[in-house]
Structure 1
Amino acid sequence: MAPRFPTPKPPRRSLHHPPHPSPPVLPFHQHLPTYAPTPLHSLPSLAASLNVGHVLVKDESLRFGLPSFKDLGASWAVYRAVVERLGLFDLLDPPFPQLSTLGETARNRGLNLKIVTCTAGNWGRAVARMGRYMGIETVVYVPGDVHFTTRELIREEGAEVVVAQGAGYDGTVEEAKGRLEKEGEGGLLVMDIAWEGYEDVPKWVVEGYQTMLDEVDGQVLVATGGRPATHAVVPVGCGSIAQAVTQHFKSATRERGGTPVAMVMGVEPETAACLKLSLETGSMSLVTIGESIMCGMNCGILSTTAWPTLQAGVDAAVVVSEEEAHQAVLELQELNVKVGPCGAATWAGLKRVCAEQQERLGLNKGSVVVLHCTEGSREYDAPQAPQVVL
């Protein structure tokens, strides 16, 4: 089996970012229907099994009534994209309007807005939900291997679902970009992956995830009696949530501000270990993907805006198998944490790290580990156990 961790890297750059006004993301999310902080579960039995101080699971399984964290980034990015397309820049600060007024404004101007995106699952449903709130049509492209129940959930949000003919997630992105050209002036591409010339919207997505991280900071202190996180484990995928987590725990402003920097571990499926390869080669690298139950993480290349932050700040890139992710789902379900394979992958990744690099990453009885479990329970085809040939 190929090594699961990248070779040692040269010293990393500082993650200091120039001062800039923080966007009012938390007030915006509080303005949305059904906002509530998601829970942080303390799982002492898992901590004891790995000989670490705390294992804490940030459970995003019911964020805004959807089964994933994606609505945090999607809601803010869709809102910003529509507001800026309409030139209503004063609406980027509180008080925020009723979302339906944005669609009405566009129609009154004769602008037939249509949001276009692509997804491996949860992202598309979150974007479609915002389109429904705003009264704006949404078209969601999905790869052919996305489970049919996921497609139906997206359709239930009122979106048009198109099964892409291209190969995998990356081919689906290209088809969504082609649809945008056909929509003309009214087309609005909202994606959480960046490429050259398409960078603003993915940055807004990352901004949206800050609400989750602000919640985490306070919840960890309550759970541990005042001790902050020492380690953060996060799924990678195209890199947006990993970028947000890395920036949060590694920024120079946090070093000066009193919250100690945490070690960051990114988790990927064997079918799409693009971060691991990129860290090994020192440049953003494309991998050929295969099918995975961790479909929301099954991306062959990182977002161009995420890569510099991940290169500078990720301490370990760990790769997990289909079987490991499935087993992690079952183990968390036994503790009444109902997550899907992408969410459970962080627990699988932590077990892998502790088995292979526990000492290097400083995981011990003093460690406070936060697992970012990013999706709720969902249907998937469980991997078959390997057959033993006698």
Structure 2
Amino acid sequence: MGPFIQINPSATDWTYAPGSPLRSSGNSPVLTFHQALPEYAQTPLHSLDNVARELGLGHVLVKDESIRFGLPAFKILGASWAVFRAVAGRLGLEATLDGPDRHSDSEQTLEQWLEEASSAPSISTSNLRIVTCTAGNWGRAVARMTSRLRKIVPRGATVFVPKSLDEATRRLIEGEGADVVVVQGEYDDCLAAAREEGKRDGSLLVFDVGFEGYEDVPQWVVEGYGTMLAEADDQVLATTGGKSATHAVIPVGAGSIAQAVTQHFKTLSRKQKYGQATVIGVEPTSAPALLKSLEAGKIVTVSTKDSIMCGMNCGTISSTAWPILRGGIDADLLVTDSEAHNAVAELHELGVAAGPCGAAALAALKRAVATKREELGLTRDAIVLLLCTEGPREYEKPANEAFSA
């Protein structure tokens, strides 16, 4: 086993310069869009006081994304905004909804938008289909949003999955009305297969990863995650008496959510108001794509192995996320399946219904405190935000793994 953590020295002085007017703030068009969708509600923030005392930290706070729009993960935030914008753009329609924060005299819901959109001239001959690939929750989220747009996406969604994805998750994706195609390979093989399928007539690719020539949709995904961060900001301030998070720990995967968190905490306006924040990524030992890329100074593709953290089992970092992560993420840390499983059990005892990917943030925090406390500023004044990105699901209990610094 190679190094379990990679510190990124360039992050110390790095500041994110937004290239988009869409911000994770209370008046963001993205937040307004999400508020206009059925079932919108803030997800909770839990304060783990006993964990904070045990680790010698000021606060340990968990943003609990175990239920978001009725799905067991945060992914629907990025998927809904990206699918909506991509479909509207393909059909030449305006992608706007009026949420309750607009205080409009005539707020427009998704259903009302669809009624207007379905009468547009371009819709009558549409044979539109969404094509994507997934290592877990992303595919289900895309399928859910696509099903809500069925009036203007008549062929629904086709989702490519790796052979290692469990049958129960495949069935959940199919239950959202999608066609599931199993690829005899890893996640990167699914991405290649989906890209090829996207060349067929009427197909519209919606990925949460970027590559050369494919950048807009992944950026919309990142913008979608701003809703979670806007909520978390308000909740952290309310919990701590007006103090902002000093640290954020985020599962990485292909990199979109880590990009969103990094640029959120590294903006100049935030630094000026709250001071420097530290962002720590976490990956499974089975898929250290970001760690190896930070180590090499360029995107490195790694071979992956099966993991209970299957939603993070990605072998290549998104090209659109990489510049942000290379510049601004402070550290990336690996955890084993057994560490993630133990964190799942601990969080459940504390009333947080986490799955392995979501619990990985707590496992990473414990390892960081034990080995890099001073270097990462994990002191008694630290206010640590853990992003629990996934709710509970079935998995096979892993054997204990020897993994030391």
Contact 1:61-1:376 within 8 A present in 2 as well: yes
Deviation per CA, 1:158-195, whole angstroms, max 9, x where unpaired? Answer: 11111112x2100011111121123x1x1111000000
Are 2:321 and 1:306 aligned?
yes
Shift of 1:93: 5.6
Give the letter aligned to residue 240 of structure 1: S
Shift of 1:358: 0.4
Give the letter aligned to residue 216 of structure 2: D
User: Is the alpha carbon distance of 1:8 and 1:375 closer, same or farther for their aligned partners in structure 2, counting shifts above 3 Å?
Assistant: closer
Count, aligned residues: 382
Shift of 1:2: 2.4
Are 2:277 and 1:262 aligned?
yes
TM-score normalised by length of structure 1:
0.94
- Percent of residue pairs identical: 53
- Alignment match, 2:2: 2
SS at match of 1:194: coil
Q: Aligned-residue CA RMSD in angstroms?
A: 1.8
Counterpart-to-counterpart distance in 2, 1:191 and 1:18: 20
User: Is the alpha carbon distance of 1:386 and 1:320 closer, same or farther for their aligned partners in structure 2, counting shifts above 3 Å?
Assistant: closer
User: Is the alpha carbon distance of 1:103 and 1:338 closer, same or farther for their aligned partners in structure 2, counting shifts above 3 Å?
Assistant: farther
TM-score normalised by length of structure 2:
0.90
Give the letter aligned to residue 70 of structure 1: K
User: Is the alpha carbon distance of 1:104 and 1:65 closer, same or farther for their aligned partners in structure 2, counting shifts above 3 Å?
Assistant: farther
- Alignment match, 1:114: 129
Are 2:145 and 1:141 aligned?
no
- Alignment match, 1:54: 59
Counterpart-to-counterpart distance in 2, 1:67 and 1:122: 8
Shift of 1:121: 1.1
- Alignment match, 2:82: 77
Are 2:41 and 1:36 aligned?
yes
Q: Which moved more, 1:377-386 or 1:1-10?
A: 1-10
Give the letter aligned to residue 28 of structure 1: F
Give the letter aligned to residue 241 of structure 1: I
- Alignment match, 1:286: 301
Deviation per CA, 1:197-236, whole angstroms, max 9, x where unpaired? Answer: 0110000000000000000001001111211101000000
Deviation per CA, 1:322-341, whole angstroms, max 9, x where unpaired? Answer: 11111111111111111110
Contact 2:65-2:391 within 8 A present in 1 as well: yes
Give the letter aligned to residue 311 of structure 1: R
Unmatched 5+ stretches in structure 1? none
Mapping of residues 94-173 of structure 1, within 5 Å: 94=98, 95=108, 97-98=110-111, 100-101=114-115, 102=117, 105=120, 108-135=123-150, 136=153, 137-165=156-184, 167-173=185-191
Unmatched 5+ stretches in structure 2? 99-107
Aligned equivalent of 1:366, options 358, 381, 397: 381
Shift of 1:108: 3.8
- Alignment match, 1:274: 289
Are 2:17 and 1:16 aligned?
yes
Shift of 1:103: 5.8
Give the letter aligned to residue 27 of structure 1: T
User: Is the alpha carbon distance of 1:253 and 1:225 closer, same or farther for their aligned partners in structure 2, counting shifts above 3 Å?
Assistant: closer
- Alignment match, 2:221: 205
Shift of 1:75: 0.1
Contact 1:191-1:201 within 8 A present in 2 as well: yes
Shift of 1:259: 3.1
Counterpart-to-counterpart distance in 2, 1:17 and 1:154: 34
Shift of 1:134: 0.7
Counterpart-to-counterpart distance in 2, 1:211 and 1:83: 20
- Alignment match, 1:65: 70
Aligned equivalent of 1:317, options 332, 338, 347: 332
